[in-house]
Amino acid sequence: MIRYFFRALRAQLHGGLSLFALSLFGVSIGVAAVVSIQIINLNALSAFSGSMRAVSGGADVTIVGKMPSLSEDTYPRVLATPGVEAAWPLFRLDVVAEDLDFYLEVIGVDFFTPIDLPWEGASVDLSAALGEPGWVAVTPTLAREKGWELGDRLEVSVGTRKAELVIGAFSDFQKATPLASTRLAVMDIAQAQSLFGARGQLHQIDVKIFEDVDQGDVIAELERSLGTQVLVLTPEQREQQASDLLSAFRLNLTALSFISLFVGGFLVFSSTQASLVRRRTEFGLLRSLGATHRQVMGLLVGDVLLLGLLGVAVGMPLGYLAAEANVDRVSATVTNLYLLDAINQLEVPAWFFLLAAAVGLFSAGLGALMPALELGRKDTRALLAAFSLHERVGARAPRAFLLGVGLMFLGGILYWLVGDRWRPAGFIQAFLLIAAVPLVTPLLVQGATGLLRVRSFGLAYGMKGLGKQLQTTSVAIAALAVAVSMVVGVTTMVASFRETLAIWIEATVQADVYVSTPAWRRSRRRAVLDASVIEVLARHPAVEQVDRLRQFFAYTNGRRFSFAGVDARAPGEKTRFALLEGEMLGAELGGIMVGEPLARKEHLSVGDDLVIDGPKGPVALPIKGIYYDYSSELGSAFTHLETMAKHFGDGPVNSVALYLEQGVDSEHVVDELKTSLADVPLTIRSNRRIREQALLVFDQTFAITRLLRYMSLLIAVTGVALTLIVLARERSAELALYRALGATRLQIFRVFLGKGLGMALIGIVLGSLAGVVFAFILIYVVNRAFFGWTIFVHWPIGLLVQQSLVILGASVLASLYPARVASRVPATELRREDL
Amino acid sequence: MEPVLEFKNVSKHYPQPSTGVLKALDDVSFSIQTGRTLAITGRSGSGKSTLLHLAAGIDVPSAGTVSFVGRDLGELSDRDRTLIRRDGVGLVFQFFYLLPHLTVWENVSLPAWIASDAGMEERGRDLLERVGLTAHASQEASKLSGGEMQRVAICRALLRKPRLLLADEPTGNLDDGNSEIVMDLLMKLVDEEEGTLLYVTHSDEQAAQADERLALHSGKLGPA
Ligand SMILES: Nc1ncnc2c1ncn2[C@@H]1O[C@H](COP(=O)(O)OP(=O)(O)OP(=O)(O)O)[C@@H](O)[C@H]1O
Ligand SMILES: [Mg+2]
């Protein structure tokens, strides 16, 4: 039988090379889509974990503060805790160097504590490290990249404060942990504190626990003695925290990538069924010659296995390349939106390849399952005759349709029951929808083609024929519809989001000029605007009003959010915030405004208190209003600067918004301010620039979904080509009959173009309808449940029409080759018995 | 008068892997005049279908000429031969070759659709009535019996009033009773329409119904 398998394989490849190649293509792209997303997801956190291991590798637990820095008595208390073998304090600060986009992660360490640093070359001259102002060790990789040498000087800034670093040594973190950020820089802790004006401040304490004591006990003891102001975290917990940050982003990408694989599965289904139909005589003969059912099944499984394996073999490298091509975009998202380390390099562990292979084989197997089950029936030959298959699909169409409608109904009930309150609901609904599409397809194809009145042998005749070969056509149409629904759904969601964001920015970004510092994006609270700078800004003749903003991350109920203090506007002036509920803060102090994502996640509404961990215990502020907020999925809240100072102490301002006199050109003012404050590290942006940049970041974040959308479309269009080739082969007798009855080649060509066009049209219409539902699921369920914000639906009609035309065009292009094959079938082929 | 169809020294060779060439037709000459019926008999493999294919311009001869109303089919392009077949030839096959998923009516209309020939509905209905299948017009062809299928196929072949009707063992797949019905119908319709018919058959009895008969023996044509 094995020998027969290979012999048959050869014959089959010979007879249906294009068929095999197309299904292979589909499987490969499907695998590539999943592989690329998984590689990116896998590596999204790698830099964070790598850096963490590089810096705190020797520690069992790490203590960080909920407040921006740890209080001074924390370190002695940690040392005094029983079970603690050693503990060493760290000073951590992200500083901006040279151009704005480049930052260094400065780590101040006490060189006398047992911290292992991977010095390059001989050990380091500690007297220089301690004595030379600004002495810093950077990674050799970064030094090479920037062309630095020992002794080079480096201007850096945090907020408006500047400092000069001197490269004193190289510490090769990548040698021990290859994925660690290349931007790690080490210096003496006392030096760092004085250099950046933070005497006595600590940000992290790494703790080593005795081997023979219970780690859990020590952690509990630390938590008890240090109070609620700190978090005591194991490395696993820290990784988990970072991973939670990205989870929604990663999960959504994964879900989208699996749609591609799903569509690829349809292709396997089509081609398996086609090869079964083609080989039914052969299988029947083998059976009559005494081959067991098992053996025949084995032949088929062998085919599918081969397809799956080749699909994985091609798809995996393809996926890696796609990941590599897109890693920068995702990396930008990870750093911009989630403030994690950039992805430096992609690393793919061995187990991943096994997993990918399993996924590829599994989906190929799943695609082949149904046709293979057909083979198990008694009279293989008759059952698999194209016409009887068609009849059976046709007979089952109404039932399948009802089932499909039932599934959608189920999704509706689920929405009615749990809405956006249960996270998996969105994915279940999306799955139900995607499962329903293929079920409703046959009846719809029958109905749509049944409406066609054919008067001549051309495009319309070809389209009408689609309803006459349901077993083949409905699969491809369903695959296309699924892909289109995803494209329409995601396009609509992204466009709606963008529009919502644009309107929100329009409403929120109302000052004329915004001033912050280059370090602001990463260092937040510590990126401080010096009071003298604010004075200079206020003195500019065109500036009418200066709104100050102070911002840091705070905790409520264990959840980190962005907390801001602002200058409340004078009452009666137009509010900057679009409100979801309640009203804007007035002149009266003490209240707080909460953003929608935070309110949703913490189930807060107007009148409730937001309880924030403060330096002297919890602070409860009554919620005055809830505003639309798309700034960060973490959530945000703001109050008066005065209220913030009262509960959290006085603090410096991080950025200001300037309102100019009527009629003044803000770009001009920006230029003037830049000149007059040339030696201060500042980011001064006009209203227009800040809006542009916000949308730029948005576009960057969603760029990766475009790749996924196109991948699944590519597979679906391949499905159209595949189906038409199957039709051209299966139905060669029919084509020969047309030729015998006097149809010209050109006419046959047109009939086939009609089929391609018809499949595309039905697929697009059905897919668009499903896509509308898909968009609603994404907008009202998935985004609300995962991110907590309200997106206002906006139909990108022009874009959707344009995409539909592209799909239509692609399908027609994909029909050209099959149409040519069909048109070349000679009338002499009519020798065959079956029609 | 010019014959509808004329074979002059026609040979058709098929290359064969082992024995060189196979002479499916060997120096065949005959002609058929308008309004006449000609039956060709022969054993299986004697070249009957090959001859009909050449007559319909589906295939071209290896040597000799096949002329349809004076036009040498071998000289024409595939497209021109196709158009001649479309507009001048009707075909009836042993295996009927109806499209199972089309209705009876649609099967009959197919030649008109292919020729973009509007105004054939009347004619189609008329033909269906004459073969007694009006009641089945909107039924799927696959639901018919063999005899009914062949009657539909005859309607399809006659729809556009072809100058030449070619039938390849039109009753080869039918039982005796149905064979008789179908053959009688075919002869009657051709007679009424003053058509020209060339048919091949195994059966001497059926061959006897034609105006003339010829016989094929291993590719050579001779008197019956
Ligand atoms: N395309 C082809 N290639 C090679 N040989 C062919 C081809 N078509 C027909 N033949 C051979 O030519 C010979 C005549 O075939 P043809 O089909 O004309 O016979 P027939 O008289 O119609 O037989 P039957 O009564 O079985 O239909 C046969 O030996 C056949 O094998
Ligand atoms: Mg024959």
| Weakest mean pLDDT among A323-337, A478-492, A798-812 | A323-337
pLDDT score of A101 more than 70: no
pLDDT score of A571 more than 50: no
Does A10 lie in the same domain as A107? no
Q: How many residues are given for chain B?
A: 224
Does A523 lie in the same domain as A491? no
Last residue of a domain, one of A209, A233, A257: A233
3-state class (DSSP) for residue A554:
strand
Instruction: Indicate whether residue B100 lines ligand 1 (CB < 6 A).
Output: no
Round the average pLDDT of chain A to a whole number and report it. Answer: 84
Structure tokens at B141: 């062809």
Q: Which of the pair, A155 or A10, is modelled with greater confidence?
A: A155
Does A702 lie in the same domain as A565? no
Residue A29: predicted pLDDT: 85
Please give, rounded to a whole number of angstroms, the shortest distance from the CA of B111 to a CA of chain A: 6
Q: Are A97 and A104 in contact (CB under 8 A)?
A: yes
Residue A97: predicted pLDDT: 82
- Distance from C-alpha of A400 to C-alpha of A396, rounded to nearest angstrom: 6
Taking only the tens place, the pLDDT of each residue in A699-753 is 887 888 888 888 888 888 888 898 898 888 878 888 999 999 999 999 999 999 9
Q: Which of the pair, B107 or A348, is modelled with greater confidence?
A: B107
In this prediction, residue A202 has a pLDDT band, given cuts at 50, 70 and 90, of confident
Q: What is the CA radius of gyration of chain B?
A: 17
For ligand 1, atom 20, the nearest C-alpha belongs to B45
Does A524 lie in the same domain as A459? no
Does A652 lie in the same domain as A523? yes
Q: Are A619 and A611 in contact (CB under 8 A)?
A: yes
In a domain? residue A741 = yes
Does A522 lie in the same domain as A656? yes
Out of B91, B93, B113, closest to residue A454 by CB: B113
Taking only the tens place, the pLDDT of each residue in B150-179 is 999 999 999 999 999 999 998 888 888 888
For ligand 1, atom 31, the nearest C-alpha belongs to B45
In a domain? residue A253 = yes
- Distance from C-alpha of B130 to C-alpha of A328, rounded to nearest angstrom: 76
- Work out whether the CA dihedral A495, A496, A498, A499 comes out positive or negative: positive
Q: Is the pTM of this model over 0.95?
A: no
Q: Which of A214, A232, A141, A213 is nearest to A178 (CA)?
A: A141
pLDDT score of A147 more than 50: yes
- DSSP letter string over A589-635? SS-EEEEHHHHHHTT--TTSEEEEEEBTEEEEEEEEEEE---S-TT-
- Distance from C-alpha of A21 to C-alpha of A29, rounded to nearest angstrom: 12
In this prediction, residue A833 has a pLDDT band, given cuts at 50, 70 and 90, of low
3-state class (DSSP) for residue B59:
coil
- The b/e string for A753-776 (b: 16+ C-beta within 10 A; e otherwise) is bbbbbbbbbbbbebbbbbbbbbbb
User: Which strands form B5-16's sheet, in the order they lie side by side?
Assistant: B20-32, B5-16, B63-68, B71-72
For the domain that residue B70 is a member of, what is the CATH number?
A: 3.40.50.300
Which residue in chain B has the smallest CA separation from A833? Answer: B95
Instruction: Cite the DSSP H helix spans in A419-548.
Output: 424-451, 459-466, 470-508, 520-523, 531-539
In a domain? residue A687 = no
- Distance from C-alpha of A207 to C-alpha of B132, rounded to nearest angstrom: 99
In a domain? residue A686 = no
Last residue of a domain, one of A681, A701, A725: A681
Does A285 lie in the same domain as A153? no
Does A806 lie in the same domain as A723? yes
Instruction: Cite the DSSP H helix spans in A279-292.
Output: 280-288
Q: Mean pLDDT throughout A198-210? A: 85
Q: Which helix (H) or strand (E) holds B12?
A: strand B5-16
pLDDT score of A574 more than 60: no
In this prediction, residue A12 has a pLDDT band, given cuts at 50, 70 and 90, of low
Q: Mean pLDDT throughout A560-578? A: 71
Place of tokens 């959290």: A648
- Return the ligand 1 atom nearest residue B53 CA: 18
Which DSSP symbol is given to A155?
E
When divided into structural domains, chain B yields a total of 1
Please give, rounded to a whole number of angstroms, the shortest distance from the CA of B122 to a CA of chain A: 14
Taking only the tens place, the pLDDT of each residue in A411-464 is 999 988 888 788 888 889 999 999 999 999 999 999 999 898 888 888 889 999
ipTM of this predicted structure: 0.92
Beta strands A103-109; A655-660: pairing state: unpaired
When divided into structural domains, chain A yields a total of 4
Question: Long-range contacts of range B13-21, CB-CB < 8 Å, 24 or more positions apart?
Answer: B13/B62, B13/B63
CA dihedral defined by A373, A375, A378, A382, rounded to 10 degrees? 130
From residue A596, give the alpha-carbon distance in Å to each of A421, A552, A621, A641, B147: 14, 18, 16, 21, 76
Structural domain boundaries, residue A7:
1-51+239-387
Q: What is the CA radius of gyration of chain A?
A: 32
Which residue in chain B has the smallest CA separation from A825? Answer: B58
Q: Which of A35, A37, A42, A722 is nearest to A312 (CA)?
A: A35
pLDDT score of A819 more than 90: yes
In this prediction, residue A380 has a pLDDT band, given cuts at 50, 70 and 90, of low
Which among B18, B43, B50, B59 is the best mutation to test ligand 1's pocket, defined by most ligand atoms within 8 Å of the CB? Answer: B50
- Distance from C-alpha of A548 to C-alpha of A145, rounded to nearest angstrom: 38
Does A309 lie in the same domain as A444? no
Taking only the tens place, the pLDDT of each residue in A48-93 is 788 888 788 778 889 888 776 777 788 888 888 888 888 888 888 8
Residue A518: predicted pLDDT: 80
In this prediction, residue A800 has a pLDDT band, given cuts at 50, 70 and 90, of very high
- Distance from C-alpha of A645 to C-alpha of A592, rounded to nearest angstrom: 13
In a domain? residue A56 = no
Residue A386: predicted pLDDT: 65
From residue A244, give the alpha-carbon distance in Å to each of A67, A236, A612, B3, B57: 20, 12, 21, 89, 73
From residue B138, give the alpha-carbon distance in Å to each of A386, A450, B104, B130: 22, 13, 6, 16
Which DSSP symbol is given to B195?
-
Residue A49: predicted pLDDT: 81
Taking only the tens place, the pLDDT of each residue in A222-254 is 888 887 778 888 888 888 877 777 777 777 778
Contacts of B49 in chain A (CB under 8 A): 831
In a domain? residue A170 = yes
Out of B53, B82, B99, closest to residue A835 by CB: B99
In a domain? residue A20 = yes
Write the CB contacts of A389 (distance below 8 Å, at least 6 apart in sequence): A273, A277, A374, A383, A471
Does residue A827 sit at the B interface (CB-CB below 8 Å)?
A: yes
Distance of CA A163 to the CA centre of its chain: 37
In a domain? residue A513 = no
- Distance from C-alpha of A569 to C-alpha of B39, rounded to nearest angstrom: 105
Please give, rounded to a whole number of angstroms, the shortest distance from the CA of A360 to a CA of chain B: 37
Q: Are A69 and A203 in contact (CB under 8 A)?
A: yes
Structural domain boundaries, residue B105:
5-223
